[in-house]
Structure 1
Amino acid sequence: MSADVLEGKIEPGKVFTHTIRLEEVPGGYRAMADRQAIKVLIQM
């Protein structure tokens, strides 16, 4: 799926509720566990 996002075929905003940096991954998992996020996109 990431290739489709990079090529503009899929709009990430329609799929992901949050975008985080790689070093923020633990917080992204916490947000999903706490139901504050549905899907988190890791920006590299």
Structure 2
Amino acid sequence: MFYGGLGALTVAGALEWPVALAVGGATWLLRSGRQEKHDADVQP
């Protein structure tokens, strides 16, 4: 849903595509890094 909102704002002209790409990429990196850390903490 978050990425769809970014796309909609970009298409509507509220965001420039490089800004949307940077925000989406940073969010993806942070979420995937946090998930990997969580998975490593949970495993015995």
Same-fold status (TM-score > 0.5)? no
Q: Give TM-score, length-normalised by structure 1.
A: 0.42
TM-score, normalising length: structure 2: 0.42
Structure number with higher strand proportion = 1
Q: Which entry has the higher C-alpha Rg, 1 or 2? A: 2
More helix by share: 2
